[in-house]
Structure formats: structure tokens, C-alpha cells
Amino acid sequence: MKKFLSLSVIALVLLCTSCRKTIIVTPTPQPENKIAGTWYINDASFNNGNGWYSFDAGAPGIFTFYDNGTAKYSDENGNQNGNWYSSYISSGYYDVYGDYYNDYHNDFQIKVSDNRGDYINLHFDYIIFSGNNRFSATYYDGKNIQEYNFYRY
């Protein structure tokens, strides 16, 4: 009986030490940065509850967004430099149809300026891509929903 018990203990020890878990870690590819590139604002509109109305966004130039988060704006008055930022957040927002949601989504910010005091500071509550060459961004100013449509230059 002692021999059987000894062999059982040895077998158990061998089984426990010979089992090995292999964990294969597959790296997750970095998401493609769809924002990086050169863009212009094709149109801007607002909704005051009675429909959508176009307005001049006051930014007729070209935005260039770089992968590292820097940004440049160029128009006939020269260049402005700064940053852009997008994050995945959970809060209330209006989509491009004027519908209100309270869940996870991307916001989007652009801050550029020059040494003359000119600047553009845009903050959007929501951004959605339509393929690789267009995205729409919305902002609620407390009164109206504003929508800006960016097209790849």
C-alpha cells in the first residue's frame, strides 16, 4: 500500500509539473487614423428645431491633421499651427440628424493660431466618417445643433 501511495504522489507531482499553459498573445493592430490628412469644410449648417440652415463657417482654407496630433490651417492670410484631438467618451451628444444620444462616441477638437492673434478653436461633441474622404462633426451650443462637413482635399 505504501508503494502504491508513493507512486500516486509521484504521478500527481509529475502531472502538475508537466502541465504547461501556453498563452499566445496576438498584438492588436493600431486603428487607422482616418483624421490624418488634408481637409476642407465643404459646408456648415445649424438646426434650431425648425430645420437645417446653412451658414458660413468662417474657415475657407485647408486643414492638415497629422498622425502625431499637430494641425495646420492654411488660407489666403497665411498659416496657423496647433493641435487636433479626438477621444472616445461617454456623454450626451446630437448626431448629424439632430437626434440626441447618451452613450460612447468620439469627440473632436481643433485649436490652431498664428502670431498675429488669428485663431480657430473648434470643439465637436460627435464625429462620424462617411468612407475615407468625408466626415461630419456636430456641436450643440445650448440653442442650436451645428454640423460641419469636412471633405478630403
Percent of the chain beyond pLDDT 70? 78
**End-to-end CA gap in the chain:** 85
Domain-embedded: residue 60: yes
- pLDDT of 5 > 60? The answer is no
Candidates 29, 30, 34, 32; CA nearest to 131 is 34
Is 6 inside a domain boundary?
no
Mean per-residue pLDDT for 134-140?
96
142: containing domain:
30-152
d(CA 145, CA 96): 9
63 within a domain of the structure (yes/no): yes
148 within some domain:
yes
pLDDT in tens, 25-73: 554 444 456 899 999 999 999 999 899 999 999 999 999 999 999 999 9
Q: Quick check: is 39 in a domain?
A: yes
Is the full-model pTM beyond 0.85? no
Classify residue 122: in a domain, yes or no. Answer: yes
Here the CATH number for the domain that contains residue 78 is 2.40.128
* Cα 40 versus chain centre, distance: 18
- Pair 90, 103: CB distance under 8 Å: yes
Number of domains in the chain: 1
